[in-house]
Structure 1
Amino acid sequence: MNVKKYLAYIKVVETGSLTKAADLLNYTQPSISQMISSLEEEYGFALLVRQKNGVKPTENGLKVLQAMREIERGYEKLLGTVDGINGMETGKVRIGAYISIATNWMPRIVSEFKQRHPFIEIQLYEGNASELDDWLEEDTIDFAIGSSHHHKWDFRFLLEDPIVAVMSTRHEWAQANIISLQAIKEAEWILPYPDSLFEVHNFLKKEGIQPRITYQIRGDETILAMIRHNLGISLLPRLLLNSTILDGIATRPVEIPLSRKVGILTNTRKHAPTPAISKMIHFIKEWVNKEVGE
């Protein structure tokens, strides 16, 4: 069993490019190509489909990808254990997070964590709720920082994140102290798609509100830009809003308090955490308690 070949194939699939994978793994592109060809010859079927703009896994390639990732995880755990015995801290941690968390938390978390554990590699993936679910299921990430909108994953609570009404400072409701349900029914909305903010869509459904959706947007930054130009209002998590973003934007509480529970999501069915993953999870919990509060 040649673990290096598996790691090469995994990286090619993740990047969609033999050249990019070679750069990341410090190989030449022909070396990566030879590794993949060797695996294909050994298995008796093709692993990749070559396209003009890169490569993608074949159907059979996807079937073996999960097993290779499990081998990768076991290999990393072995190396981490050996390094720990020898007094060294190494390993790799792959974290998925909402854009609001990746932007407002992760730069500081990673910076402070790397000061304590300089030889642990951190990979960060930004995504919405559905993407985090997919990445956990496919073992693309080791854990996610997101909201508890179902009970599919093991959830470790970090904080309650209020969801507020967000509008332009020029909007008529910017002068109100609180936004009523009747006002919400009359509003022109800029809403994220249902695969992003489940809590908002569930709230509207529960209260029997059929929103007048003027725009439906996937990107948080685009939603905020359109709100700033007074094209509608939205309901967004407070974590998404920092002092810079709030320029030209007003936030108000809703008549019925609304929030989302943010925490660490792990797929305990897949594997136990490596020492590096455990250290990062523990560090994040400590950091949130200290910097954000419960």
Structure 2
Amino acid sequence: MDMNLQKYRAFVKTVEYGSFTKAAELLNYSQSGISRMIGDLEKEWGITLLERGRSGVRLTSDGLKLLPFAQNLCREWDQLQMQVDELKGLRSGLIRIGAFSSAATHWLPKIIKEFQRDYPNIDYELLLGDYTEIENWIAEGRIDCGFLRIPTLPELDTVFLEQDELLVVLAEDHPLAACAAFPIQALSDYPFLLLEKNGKSDVSQLFDRWGITPHIHFTTWDDYAVLSMVESGLGISILPQLILQPLNRPIVAKPLEVPAYRKLGLALRDKKNAPLAVKRFLDYLSYR
């Protein structure tokens, strides 16, 4: 505890009990130690706080004016310590999470369900965005952690979660619906529905790597819109497997002729100095 705060507490308790001796017993100091701390305050402030007498101590007029301020400081410190203790025991707290839609839909409910069994009083704030938005929110301190594609910004700490396979999705009556693996070159033969928002998506990066220029018929960041359009026969797409769970639509998903994946993880600014609730949250990621 700050030494000045100890002096304020010595002053407050001496007034409350009317005695250096009783204040010393309560605060676990010697009587001379309590007297010295109050004397130090009087020297620092250049005023007399207490009148000493055989019958005990009593406030001076200056001391009477300053006592409420010292009491407030001690009270606020006690409340601060109480809040710190609560957070240490995770009896309260807030976790601010960023996520792309499929992680928010398929992972977060399972993780939070298990986490809340042990820490029922933790609250959550969820921001939905794309990889770039989530990276920026973490870097700016807008959120505590975020699910995204890795590698990410070099200044962020990351926890690898899993590889998510990228699959070609097409209508059940598509000519290649029965193929074992979708040919890479055939991606250019049909209207393509691209899931992309800011920057290059996983799929656009694949096209660059393979030297393919597909006929992009529609671009959106809404994965369910892409699924509905594929279902209607408006084109084909490549989507991560996580989005396709469960696949309860009249469409089929095929692996690529050359298997492709995205690496997913959780990122935060500083894992070592993260809030305690966030550190505990990391222990529950396996429940996804």
TM over 0.5: yes
State the partner residue of 1:280: 281
Distance 2:224 2:199 in 1: 13
TM-score (norm 2): 0.67
- 1:120-199 superposed matches below 5 A: 120-152=122-154, 153-195=156-198, 198-199=201-202
Of the candidates 211, 216, 223, which is equivalent to residue 214 of structure 2?
A: 211
Q: Is the 8 A contact 2:99 2:148 kept in 1?
A: yes
Judge which range, 119-128 or 224-233, deviates more.
119-128
Distance 1:194 1:88 in 2: 37
CA drift of 1:196 comes to 6.9
Distance 1:191 1:147 in 2: 17
Distance 2:81 2:219 in 1: 46
Label 1:79 to 1:217 Cα distance change in 2 as closer, same or farther (>3 A).
farther
Label 1:180 to 1:146 Cα distance change in 2 as closer, same or farther (>3 A).
same
Distance 1:162 1:210 in 2: 21
3-state SS, counterpart of residue 257 of structure 1? coil
Label 1:255 to 1:84 Cα distance change in 2 as closer, same or farther (>3 A).
same
3-state SS, counterpart of residue 82 of structure 1? helix
| Deviating 4+ runs (over 4 angstroms) | 77-80
Q: Is the 8 A contact 2:97 2:125 kept in 1?
A: yes
- CA displacement, residues 14-69 of structure 1 (integer Å, 9 cap, x when unaligned): xxxxxxxxxxxxxxxxxxxxxxxxxxxxxxxxxxxxxxxxxxxxxxxxxxxxxxxx
CA drift of 1:79 comes to 6.8
Structure 2 residues without counterparts, runs of 5 or longer:
1-79
3-state SS, counterpart of residue 124 of structure 1? strand
State the partner residue of 2:38: none
CA drift of 1:218 comes to 2.1
Q: Is the 8 A contact 1:110 1:122 kept in 2?
A: no
Distance 1:156 1:215 in 2: 33
Distance 1:268 1:215 in 2: 38
3-state SS, counterpart of residue 173 of structure 1? coil
State the partner residue of 1:234: 237
CA drift of 1:225 comes to 0.8
% same residue: 27
Distance 2:81 2:287 in 1: 28
Label 1:142 to 1:249 Cα distance change in 2 as closer, same or farther (>3 A).
same
Q: Is the 8 A contact 2:114 2:287 kept in 1?
A: no
Structure 1 residues without counterparts, runs of 5 or longer:
1-76, 289-294
Give the letter for the 1:142 counterpart.
Answer: D
CA drift of 1:113 comes to 1.2
The size of the alignment, in residue pairs, is 208
Distance 2:180 2:190 in 1: 16
CA drift of 1:237 comes to 0.4
Distance 2:263 2:196 in 1: 19
Label 1:80 to 1:176 Cα distance change in 2 as closer, same or farther (>3 A).
farther
Distance 1:203 1:262 in 2: 16
Q: Is the 8 A contact 1:80 1:91 kept in 2?
A: no
- CA displacement, residues 102-142 of structure 1 (integer Å, 9 cap, x when unaligned): 01111222122111101111222221112212211221110
Distance 1:91 1:238 in 2: 33
Distance 1:160 1:78 in 2: 43
State the partner residue of 2:254: 252
Give the letter for the 1:125 counterpart.
Answer: L
Aligned-pair Cα RMSD in Å: 2.2
Distance 1:206 1:78 in 2: 56
CA drift of 1:185 comes to 2.2
- 1:76-95 superposed matches below 5 A: 81-84=84-87, 87=89, 89-95=91-97
Give the letter for the 1:199 counterpart.
Answer: D
